[in-house]
Structure 1
Amino acid sequence: CYPRATFETTITRETINQFYLFNPRNLYQNFIVGVNGGDRPLFTYLGPLMPNLGNAVYSNTGAISPLFNDPDLQVIGLGSRIFLGGGIGYITWEGTQHFPLQKRLPNRTPIGPAATLALIGDAKQMQSKWVRGCYFKNHGPSIMLGVGIPLPVLNEKVVANCTIQDQDIVAPVVDFSIPRRVRPTFGLVSYAQLKSGRIKIEGKLVRSAPLASIFLSHQIALELKQWIEAGEFTLTESVAPIPMNRTFLPFLES
C-alpha cells in the first residue's frame, strides 16, 4: 500500500472494518500496596499517596480476582474465552512482566506480583461502561478495562481453588518514598485487612482503598453468569498452557 501524505476524516467504530483491542498486560495475579513514608505527596501509577503514611492503595480485587482462583493457571490458558470490555475476548499469551515464579503461600497464591495475561477482543462489541480512559497525574493517560474469566469446573481441585477467601491471600506494603526500583516493604497484609478500610503499619492505622472497583468486578461476574445461563457465552478449553517457568529480567543500563 502507498498511503497519501495527508488524509483527514472522522472515523467511528461503525465506519471502519476492523476495530480490536489488544492489551499486552492485564489481570496481575496479585500486586503491591502502595504507601508513602516520606514528607511530601507522591503522584504514582497507583494514584496519589499522601505523606507520613496518609493512605494505602491496592489494585487487586482479592478473592474475586480470576487468577487467585486458578493460582497455577491449570484451567486458564491460551485461547480461553473471556469477558473483555463488555464484549467477548480471548487470552492470547502471557502478559508483559509475567513472573509466575513469585514466592507463594501453601495455598499456591503468590505473595506479590506474579502471572499476567495478554488479551484481545473485538472492540466493536465493547461498551463504554467497561472501557474508560483515565489520567494519572505526573504519569499520563491509561485505561480502565473490565475483564472477567469463567473457570470451567473440571475437577474437585478447581472447586477447592475457588473457595479462596480474602483472609487467605496477602500483598506486600511498599514504601514509594524510597526512590529506587527495589523498594523496602512494611511486610504483608491480607486482602481482608485491606478491604476493611484500615491496615496497621508500625502501630499506625492507615486508610486503605482499592484502585480497581470491587463493586464493578462483582457486576462483571454477574453479567458473565447471565451470558452463560442464556447460552450467549460458552466456555472453552485452552489450546495451550500459560508458561509458568518464566524468570523476571530487569532492564540494566549499559
Structure 2
Amino acid sequence: MAKSYAEINEKIKKGTAVVLTAEEVAELSRTLSPKEIAQKVDVVTTGTFGAMCSSGAFINFGHANPPIRMEKIELNGVRVSGGLAAVDTYIGATDCNPERPAYGGAHIIEDLINGKDILLEAWGKGTDCYPRKHIKTVINKDTVNEAILYNPRNAYQNYNVATNTTDQLKYTYMGTLLPRMRNASYSTAGELSPLINDPECRTIGLGTRIFLGGTEGYVTWNGTQFHSTKEVNEYGIPTSNARTIAVIGDLKNMSSEYLRAAYYEKYGISLFVGIGIPIPILDEDLARKVSIRNEQIETTIVDYGNGNQILGKTNYAALHSGEIEIKGQKVRTAPVSSLAKAREIAAMLKKRIAGGHFQLTEPVRPMPTNTGLKSLLETKPEN
C-alpha cells in the first residue's frame, strides 16, 4: 500500500518512523523484496561530499555612511561580483586573484563560516544618492546582514571516471592524472549518492528539504546542465553525468566540516559541499530504486588526456576495490570525494529524522523530463 508524506511525517513526529541509510537498505535488499522493504522502511537517507565548482554565496554588507554603490568589489584581494545593486555581491567558489591562484571564493566562504575577518574594499563612480567612491573595511559573518549559500549546480547524478592515456601528466578537476593510465579517479558516492537513489527525481524537486553544509537547506530548481535523457543501465541509472540540483541555505549556520575549500594543482579552486537528501519510501517502486547496490551502478570511463574519448564502463564496487580494468590493463583507482563524509552525512540525517528533528517536504514542482544538453556553438559575429 502506498504511503503519503503526511503519514511518514506523522511517524517522524511520533518517533516511530523506520529510517535507514542508503547503504543499510542496499544490504537489506539482499534478503528482502522491494515490497517487503516498502512495508518496513519509511525513509532512506543519502549523502555525498565532493567538489562542486558551481557553488557560491550571496552577501549583503549593509550601507556605510556616507553610502556607496559598490561597482568593483574585492574580498581579501579576490574580485567578486559588483553587479548586484549597491551593497550585495555573489562570491563564486572559483573566483580568484590570478596573482594568487590558490586562494579564492571558496576560501572566503570557508573563512566566513569560521568567523574570520575578511578585508572588504570597494569602489564606485559616485552618484547623488551614493556619493562615496571608495571604502576599505573589515567584515565577518556577524557584521553582514545576510550570507546565503546558493549553488546553481550540485550533487551530480553519477559522473565519469577520469583517466589519461597520453605520455604527459594532466592536471584536471578530477585530480592529477598520471601518464599511460597509471591511475583513474572518480567522484560519486555510489549507492549513497542522492540522485542515484531517486533516479527519476520522483521525490526531489523544488522545495525539497535537505541537509546542506551542516544545516538545513532546500532544493530551489533543477541544477544547470540538468540532463534527463542520458543512457541508462538495466536498473534505470544514467551511466554518466546527468541530473543536477540547485540548492540554497543559511551560510551563517553552516560548518566547515561540510563546506570546505580546495585547490587543484594547475587547475584552480573548488568547494567541497556536503549534501544529504532523505528519500521517502512512498511505494514499492521507490523501495526498488533505493535498493540499488554499488555493483549495479555503472559509470563511463573517459580519457581526459585525449579528447574525452570513451574507454569503457565500470561499476562502483570495482572502483571501491581500488583497481579496475581498462582495455586489458589494471588501473589503480582513487576517489576525489569523501565516502567517509558521505556516510557521516547519511548517518547524521538518519539520526535527525529518527529523533523527530527533520520533517520531509513534498516538492511543489517536479523536475523537468526529456531534457537534453546543448553545447556552445562558435559562430562569427556579424560586423
TM-score by length of 2: 0.64
Counterparts of 2:181 and 2:350, CA distance in 1: 40
* Corresponding residue number in structure 2 for 1:201: 326
* Corresponding residue number in structure 2 for 1:12: 140
Deviations 1:148-171 (A, max 9, x none): 001112112111111000011111
Deviations 1:173-192 (A, max 9, x none): 111121x3xx2111110111
1:1-254 mapped onto 2 (5 Å cutoff): 2-3=68-69, 4-178=132-306, 180=307, 183-254=308-379
Deviations 1:120-156 (A, max 9, x none): 1110110010011011122211100100001112112
Structure 2: give runs of 5+ residues left out of the alignment: 1-66, 70-131
Counterparts of 1:187 and 1:65, CA distance in 2: 22
1:106, CA displacement in angstroms? Answer: 2.2
Report % sequence identity: 41
Counterparts of 1:61 and 1:162, CA distance in 2: 14
* Corresponding residue number in structure 1 for 2:24: none
Counterparts of 1:30 and 1:252, CA distance in 2: 26
Counterparts of 2:359 and 2:197, CA distance in 1: 19
**Secondary structure class of the residue paired with 1:93:** strand
Is the Cα–Cα contact under 8 Å of residues 68 and 134 in structure 2 kept in the other structure? no
Q: Which amino acid aligns with 2:316?
A: Y
1:229, CA displacement in angstroms? Answer: 2.1
> May I ask how many residue pairs the two structures share in their alignment?
251
Counterparts of 2:252 and 2:140, CA distance in 1: 10
Higher Cα radius of gyration? 2
Structure 1: give runs of 5+ residues left out of the alignment: none
Q: Which amino acid aligns with 2:157?
A: Q
1:45, CA displacement in angstroms? Answer: 0.9
Greater displacement, 3-12 / 141-150: 3-12
Counterparts of 1:172 and 1:128, CA distance in 2: 31
Counterparts of 2:346 and 2:142, CA distance in 1: 28
Counterparts of 1:128 and 1:99, CA distance in 2: 30
Is the Cα–Cα contact under 8 Å of residues 68 and 133 in structure 2 kept in the other structure? no
Q: Which amino acid aligns with 2:214?
A: G
Structure with a larger share of its residues in helix: 2
**Secondary structure class of the residue paired with 1:19:** strand
* Corresponding residue number in structure 1 for 2:94: none
**Secondary structure class of the residue paired with 2:279:** coil
Counterparts of 1:228 and 1:13, CA distance in 2: 29
Is the Cα–Cα contact under 8 Å of residues 202 and 366 in structure 2 kept in the other structure? yes
Q: Which amino acid aligns with 2:370?
A: N
Counterparts of 2:357 and 2:144, CA distance in 1: 25
Greater displacement, 3-12 / 221-230: 3-12
TM-score by length of 1: 0.96
Q: Kindly report the root-mean-square deviation, in angstroms, between the aligned alpha carbons of the 2 structures.
A: 1.1
Counterparts of 1:207 and 1:152, CA distance in 2: 37
1:235, CA displacement in angstroms? Answer: 0.8
1:2, CA displacement in angstroms? Answer: 4.7
1:14, CA displacement in angstroms? Answer: 1.8
Deviations 1:30-59 (A, max 9, x none): 110000101011001101000010100001
Counterparts of 2:201 and 2:216, CA distance in 1: 20
